[in-house]
Structure 1
């Protein structure tokens, strides 16, 4: 049985208010150049338009599975052969704007083997701090 089939997946969801418009935020969530400024060591697009997220000098390939301009982006991670798998890890970024208060919220869904909510919360808090520094929000 493959290793990934034996591990349980965990869905971690968190929301952050960000003082920037969806139009300004979206490129930081859905483009390689934007993501590389706050999310990980580097992000590159390969010739097949797959995203290569680099953490600790290790490549992690993902496809932009779905997106709505200025609203949402979902990255589904691929296996070591750059192929989709069932129950794959994914990251989902969704921007929501309150019509009442005009506040913008970024909702993050991190679906992976990482099950420590405290560690995930700290990691995302730090990442969002970097994102806010980039967008001035």
Structure 2
């Protein structure tokens, strides 16, 4: 069964510059995304409760987006953090794109909600 692409959007009260630091650096990601984060040569090593995952940065644009590919995942699957601006309110929007089995999208979305809540706490939102 192939995974489906889904996106989540979160309004953020923070400058794109500061937000990008939390999305694209090992120190920033270590504040909210994983317990341990190391980065070497465009590869990020994430640790949670004794388990470890590796992801490669496959594309990025400073203060706009960063796209990661999990080691071992199908080549066309990724997860991405994108920083958009609402044209109406001019508010910063964090857009997360990920892949999951259709039956798992709700659970994965709740996990992202929890992670983003931790990010907002670190940002003072």
Say whether the fold is shared (TM-score over 0.5).
yes
Matched, 1:106 2:94: yes
User: Which stretch shifts more, 98-107 or 65-74?
Assistant: 98-107
Which whole-Å CA distance do the structure 1 matches of 2:124 and 2:102 have between them? Answer: 30
Any gaps of 5 or more consecutive residues in structure 2? none
Name the structure 2 match of 1:122.
110
How many angstroms does 1:101 deviate by?
1.4
Which whole-Å CA distance do the structure 2 matches of 1:64 and 1:26 have between them? Answer: 14
Match of 1:24 among 12, 18, 29: 18
Name the structure 2 match of 1:35.
29
- Partner SS, residue 37 of structure 1: helix
Matched, 1:97 2:85: yes
CA contact (8 A) 2:44 2:56 kept: yes
How many angstroms does 1:131 deviate by?
0.5
Match of 1:62 among 48, 52, 55: 55
Q: Show CA shifts across 1:31-84 (max 9, x none).
A: 1110111011211113x43111112312211111111111100011112xxxx8
CA contact (8 A) 2:100 2:108 kept: no
Question: Per residue, is there more strand in 1 or in 2?
Answer: 2
Q: TM-score normalised to the size of structure 1?
A: 0.81
Q: Show CA shifts across 1:83-132 (max 9, x none).
A: x8533x42101000124312110110112457422212211111111000
CA contact (8 A) 2:80 2:96 kept: yes
Larger Rg: 1
Number of residue equivalences:
125
Any gaps of 5 or more consecutive residues in structure 1? 1-6
- Partner SS, residue 89 of structure 2: coil
